[in-house]
Chain A
């Protein structure tokens, strides 16, 4: 095979990607840069070049400020939440001699839910006359407007997304646990290593690759939150859950400010790219310093 010149065949088979990459990546990318310096409103035939006005306006806009901080707030809440829940599931399930696969399949089911559906369920479950709220009001005197305050709304969205991803990440972590050789634990037990040390010195280092994957995946998720926020809060209250996607959707398709939305999207992309790059490097350093990788 290596003797034969496959250049033509290679490019032919790769051509779907080339075509797609051109039409749905390179052209939109260039177009997006161009749009970001115009005031086009998505409909009118005329528009003007406005230089960097869109960017200046965006950097001063409360919606953009909110998107920047809300993303990191989601990260602080969602990432530890989903890592903890998937770790718990993986810890409980991985050593079971029977029905392990059955459990893993069961825990994976929430991943199949549409964000629209999970939002509805939570909305109904926490509606004013729901059993939960009736109980809280009647027994504890707590009248909570779950979607009415920025913090509780943010927490709710984080919980919904964590619910969705727990089983998936647990699958990754379970296979991480399984790659740890049991003999290491036995040897450690002979050396008198106990529970907590065992976790820090053996389990965590050996689990690190799987943990790294789930951390990166979950951090990536926080930059793309849309459906749950759109369905439950519309970005509110008071921009409290206004993610990048929500802000861009509102600007482009509700306010019809295609030019301005492109500028916001450009800022969002740069922020996302740099944030993930820095966090990734930090995680790699953390692993290296501890000698885990």
Chain B
């Protein structure tokens, strides 16, 4: 009986490992091809001869007349994604604190409004939001990419649910000691919300990092493009240069994977709460 159980467990581990390999295979394929000799890119399942040619080609600006600013695009992405994410987290925490821990007239209305808006098909807002950004003079600017994504209903929703689970007694005690609402948020609420904060941060950041549609329509100049948009435009419709295409894909993907793996443990803990 025990031996049988052990054996079936081994089989399960093998299946799990093979499944994982299958799921990770596209990433492996991407990385290997980014280092593959150009004669082997997309020609072999597993390349055998390697070179840094693709990365050199990319960073030297490729063969186009105008050098493509990959490094600039990388920092554009970093600025836009960090700016957006930080704002979404601040607004998320502040609004959620009001909804979960402050008593005020109209609170239920706001709760319902947020829920309604969360399930509202946002596609209808695309064209007019573009026009608003244009009228505000933010077309082709960082602000134009950041501001429309400065608040996340999902973040408010997650934080509200989490804050509700924090006992009011903590807050009442702090108030008796004369703490202001800001102090309560930063000294009491946030330190208790580390794991959820990491989950929210990771989801928001990676969603912003991989955004295509909005960053594509709101930017015109080459030097304002985010990495994802530059990648899409550079290797989009006409193909060509598959090696550098994989190299650029690696440059876009690896930072976000490192960030995720760095926080993986806390992410796992935080997800426990969000999935309940």
* Chain A residues proximal to chain B, CB less than 8 Å: 1-2, 6-14, 16-17, 20-21, 23-25, 27-29, 31-32, 35, 88-89, 92-93, 95-97, 99, 101, 103-118, 120-125, 127, 129-131, 163, 166-167, 171-172, 175, 210, 223-224, 226-227, 230-231, 234, 244-245, 248-249, 252-253, 258, 261-262, 265-266, 268-269, 272-273, 276
Contact = CB atoms under 8 A, between A and B. Distances in A.
B127 A17 contact: no
A226 B231 contact: no
A9 B26 contact: no
B272 A175 contact: yes
Interface in B213-234: 213, 217, 228, 231-232
B98 A14 contact: yes
B246 A113 contact: no
Interface residues of B, number: 87
B12 A96 contact: yes
B125 A21 contact: no
A13 B159 CA distance: 14
B58 interface: no
A185 to B, nearest CB: 15
A1 B175 contact: yes
Given A32-B128, A245-B213, A248-B127, 8 more contacts: A6-B103, A7-B105, A13-B94, A17-B114, A113-B27, A175-B271, A227-B210, A249-B213
Interface string B149-160: 011000010000
B76 interface: no
Interface in B21-60: 23-24, 26-27, 29-30, 33, 41-45
A265 B102 contact: no
B12 A92 contact: yes
Contacts of B264: 105
Nearest to B16: A92
Contacts of B2: none
Given A21-B117, A116-B231, A124 B42 contact: yes
21 contacts: A1-B103, A14-B99, A16-B91, A16-B151, A21-B113, A28-B132, A105-B261, A105-B268, A106-B23, A106-B24, A107-B23, A109-B27, A112-B253, A113-B27, A115-B212, A117-B252, A121-B29, A125-B26, A129-B43, A131-B44, A163-B26
Interface of A is mostly: helix
B242 interface: yes
Interface of B is mostly: helix
A118 B26 contact: yes
Given A13-B181, A16-B91, A115 B210 contact: yes
Contacts of B236: 231
Contacts of B13: 96, 99
Contact of B102 (A6, A106, A115, A125): A6
Contact of A125 (B12, B20, B29, B103): B29
A269 B104 contact: no
Contact of B30 (A115, A117, A223): A117
Interface string B251-276: 01100110011001001100110011
Contact of B125 (A25, A107, A129, A166): A25
Contacts of A248: 123, 126-127
Nearest to B182: A13
Interface in B103-126: 103-107, 110, 113-114, 117, 119-121, 123-126
Contacts of A113: 26-27, 210, 253
Contact of A28 (B24, B41, B129, B232): B129
B168 A1 contact: yes
Given A21-B113, A124-B242, A16 B23 contact: no
Contacts of B106: 10-11
Q: Which of A13, A23, A104, A166 has the most CB of B within 10 A?
A: A13
B95 interface: yes
A16 B15 CA distance: 49
B143 to A, nearest CB: 13
A281 to B, nearest CB: 14
Contacts of B117: 21, 25
Q: Which of A106, A114, A234, A261 has the most CB of B within 10 A?
A: A114
A79 to B, nearest CB: 18
Among all A-B residue pairs, the 7 with the closest Cβ atoms:
A10-B104, A13-B98, A28-B128, A114-B210, A31-B128, A269-B121, A175-B275
